[in-house]
Amino acid sequence: MTEPSRRAVVSGLAAGLAALPTLARGQATPFGFETVEAEARTLAAAPFDATVPPLPEVLAKLDYDAWRDIRFRPDHAFRVGADGRFRLQLFHLGFLYPRPVAVSLVKDGMARPIAYDPALFDLGRTKLDAALPKDLGYAGIRLHTALNRPDVIDELIVFVGASYFRFLGQDQLYGLSARALAVNTEAAGGPEEFPFFRAFWIEAEGEPGTCTIHALLDGPSQTGAYRFTVRPGPETSVSVTATLFPRRTLNDAGLAPLTSMYFIGETDRGHSDDYRPELHDSDGLQIAAGSGEWLWRPLDNPQARRISTFSVASPKGFGLMQRDRSFASYQDLEAGYERRPGYFVEPEGDWGEGSVVLVELATDNETADNIVAYWRPKAPYPAGQPARLAYRIRAVGGKNLHPNGHVANTFLAASAASGAARKEGDPEGRLARRFLIDFGGGTLAERPAGAAPPSVVASASAGRIVATSIVPNPHVGGFRAALDVRLDAPGTTELRAYLRDEDGDALTETWTFPWSAT
């Protein structure tokens, strides 16, 4: 799971091409989104071709540092987007990126390919002495723009590796990634598939303040035509339109998949002897159900792979969030975990019945992406029938999306620490646990002095809630709820809790968490 002008393209593509004799000189062809759909449809009718053209030996031998040392020359970047505010750069093939993608620029409804040209790159200390093929291609693309300051050009969005992409809002640092599509991520009856982009088309015009990227997706089980419209800002958004062409019946498609890392957090500090209290790119899964309920599921680093399924009809949104924005929680001067964005997916139209699926993998370090979340439709996509979908992804910061109270913290403690009696036959208290949930925000901080505290509504899918309690917590502008939970035998229980007022109305989102006793 991975990461990612020549001056006058905006004012006239021909002028920019004249300055670069070997660049984008291929024959121009008519282009629209229907062009990508037609290519995807034709590709789906043929057997999947997994062939990767062999890399020249000099590129195949590159390690990570040598590949990173090959940098696109900023003064050769293409100006794209309607107002020319975006600069397109290209990634060189090599290291983990041997599969070439075709890249074209689109202006006035005509697409013109960008031919490979080594002069576009500063090779740094990397020596590429042998002549490279003229049709070598590129590994991926990225866009830069004046994101944080009008006088500074920052990286905005990257597409490199399979169908991965990631993007930033203002004052954010890269953390999690998005993908175009996930297939068989739950590894039911076979390995996970990783569809990949074969081609990109970048628009040199369009809606002011945006840039549109078209992409052709391919994979063993499907092809796809994608359109990404990027809108930079405090919460940069990417609007996605896609048409999938299944090669087989797709009952294991993961739509709008997100990938992240969770190693150490407030619920499981025992994984590592590290001076940093927490290490994660995301700390929770947020779901906005069509019913109006909001769910918050803290992430976990489980001992073994865990798959959690949340059945939802007509979802309003879901995402992997980095809710904790305090440097004190991370103490990492370089990584800046408190500045990692959350990605929140908002469907366009009614997605019907299905599930938000959360996959958590065990990890013993902070370099592995071990968290995946996506939407799995209830009805499979039949082979040979196009499937269309649209959604928007926002790069959100610390703002809470739920309008009422939200979960600020989740802590676990031994039930013995709370004075709960140990069950006979369970002298070590393995079957009992105390959960402390801080709810803050919304109207919780506005409750009048002397008013009765909200009620704690809690449930367990197995075992029982032995006791609940609630006390004010001014540090989060709300309350701390405590749940004492006991299982009758080793196993797993799904816990849920929220706060409600005296009229029975919910004051907070619903906290949900799986607990396993051994």
Per DSSP, the residues of 408-433 read EEEEEEEGGGGTPPPPTT-TT-TTEE
Give residue 11's pLDDT: 29
Residues 4 and 128 in one domain: yes
From CA 284, how far away is CA 280, in angstroms rounded? Answer: 10
Among 61-65, 208-212, 417-421, the range scoring the smallest mean pLDDT is: 417-421
Instruction: From 167, 243, 173, 257, select the one nearest 211 (Cα to Cα).
Output: 167
pLDDT of residue 125: 82
Q: State the pLDDT at residue 428.
A: 61
Residue 147 and residue 132 share a domain: yes
Q: Which residue has the tokens 């957090």?
A: 265
Q: Is the pLDDT of residue 359 over 70?
A: yes
* CB atoms near residue 4 (< 10 Å): 20
Residue 385 lies in a domain: no
Q: What pLDDT was estimated at residue 25?
A: 53
| Domain stop point among 195, 219, 249 | 249
Are 215 and 274 contained in the same domain?
no
Please report whether residue 450 resides in a domain: yes
pLDDT computed for residue 230 by the predictor: 98
Task: Check residue 270 and give its pLDDT.
Answer: 66
Domain hosting residue 478, numbered range: 406-517
Residues in the chain: 518
Q: How many domains does the chain have?
A: 3
Residues 245 and 256 in one domain: no
User: 21: pLDDT confidence band, cut at 50, 70 and 90?
Assistant: very low
**What burial class does residue 40 get, using C-beta atoms within 10 Å of its C-beta: 0-12 exposed, 13-18 middle, 19+ buried?**
buried
196-203 vs 102-107, strand pairing mode: parallel
Q: What is the pLDDT of residues 363-403, one digit of tens each?
A: 999 999 999 999 999 999 999 999 999 999 999 998 889 88
**One-letter amino acid identity for 318?**
F
Q: Are 106 and 51 in contact (CB under 8 A)?
A: no
What are the tokens at 94? 């090599």
| pLDDT top residue among 133 and 423 | 133
Q: What are phi and psi of 59, to 5 degrees?
A: -85, -35
Same domain (yes/no): 228, 258: no
CATH code: domain of residue 217: 2.70.98.10
| Prediction pTM value | 0.92
- pLDDT band for 415, please (50, 70, 90 cuts): confident
225, 242 contact by CB (below 8 A): yes
Q: 284 with 375, same domain?
A: yes
Instruction: Please count the other Cβ atoms lying within 10 Å of the Cβ belonging to residue 217.
Output: 25
Q: Are residues 361 and 300 in the same domain?
A: yes
256 and 232 share one domain: no
Which of 218, 234, 249 terminates a domain? The answer is 249
Residue 298 lies in a domain: yes
Same domain, 349 and 485: no
Q: Which residue has the tokens 């006791």?
A: 467
pLDDT at 451: 84
Is 205 inside any structural domain?
Answer: yes
Does a structural domain hold residue 394? no
Tell me 67's DSSP state. Answer: H
Q: Is residue 397 part of a domain?
A: no
Express each pLDDT in 276-309 by its tens digit. Answer: 999 999 999 999 999 999 999 999 999 999 999 9
> For position 445, what pLDDT does the model report?
85
Model pLDDT, residue 46: 97
- Torsion angle (degrees, nearest 10) of CA 84, 206, 71, 333: 90
CATH of the domain at 459: 2.60.40.10
Question: pLDDT, tens digit, for every residue of 63-95?
Answer: 999 999 999 999 999 999 888 899 999 999 999
Question: For residues 224 and 218, what is the distance between their CA atoms, to the nearest angstrom?
Answer: 6
Q: Is the pLDDT of residue 17 over 90?
A: no
DSSP secondary structure of 124-137: TT----SPPPTT--
Q: Does 327 map to a domain?
A: yes
| 8 Å CB contact between 323 and 398 | yes
Average pLDDT, the chain: 90
183 plus 43 within the same structural domain: yes
- Mark whether 174 and 216 lie in a shared domain: yes
pLDDT for 179? 99
The domain boundary residue, chosen from 215, 249, 283: 249
The answer to whether position 393 is within a domain reads no
Amino acid at 28: A
Contact 24, 115 (CB under 8 A): yes
Cα end-to-end span (Å), the chain: 31
Give residue 274's pLDDT: 87
Are 91 and 212 part of one and the same domain? yes
Identify the helix (H) or strand (E) that includes residue 321: strand 317-321
